[in-house]
Structure 1
């Protein structure tokens, strides 16, 4: 992973896990990688991954089964979408709106570009 300076590493790892869940790479009900395995995979300290897993448990995305490991909760996809949507609306959308206004881009143009993007990428 390439980490950015503007956000805590454990939150960037959580974002990576969110994306993996949304893409189906980590299946609903599936076992999460062990803390050590994920730490080795993304080249971070296991304590950082533990902090990520604590955060994901707090958000009710994953839960632990004593002695077995961490698992993705059944409603994780919905919780991830709700969390990411709230984060996008509060953090990123104001920047997008400002750019749209400054660049005089109207919603009809934006809608067409969005539909083309979806068609070409999904």
Structure 2
């Protein structure tokens, strides 16, 4: 995973965990990788992953079963979506608006491009699900 310089690594890992939950790669109720497993996969210090998991536990996106590991909460998907949505609206959307204003892009062009994006995403997903 390539980390950005403008945000704490544990928060970037939290976004990645939430993405896996939102994409149902890690379904609600299922066990997620241990702190050590994820740290090795991402090539980060286990303390960073532990901080991520503590953060997500506080947000009630994941929970721990003593001696068994971490699991996705039953309402983890909706809480992950709320977390990611809040983060996007607070941090990414203002920069997006700044750029569309600077580049004089109107909402009709954005809407048309978004529709193409959704169509391409849907056709790609359909192909992926057949495999």
TM range (shorter): over 0.9
Q: CA RMSD in A?
A: 1.0
- TM-score using structure 2 length: 0.88
Q: Distance in 2 between matches of 1:121 and 1:11?
A: 26
1:12 alignment counterpart: 12
After superposition, give the CA deviation of every residue in 1:60-82 in whole Å (9 maximum; x if it has no partner): 10001111111100111111111
**Misfit runs of 4+, over 3 Å:** none
- 2:37 aligned with 1:41: no
1:29 alignment counterpart: 29
1:73 alignment counterpart: 73
2:62 alignment counterpart: 62
Gaps of 5+ in 2: 123-131
Q: CA deviation at 1:18?
A: 0.8
Q: Distance in 1 between matches of 2:3 and 2:103?
A: 30
Q: Distance in 1 between matches of 2:4 and 2:88?
A: 17
Q: CA deviation at 1:105?
A: 1.4
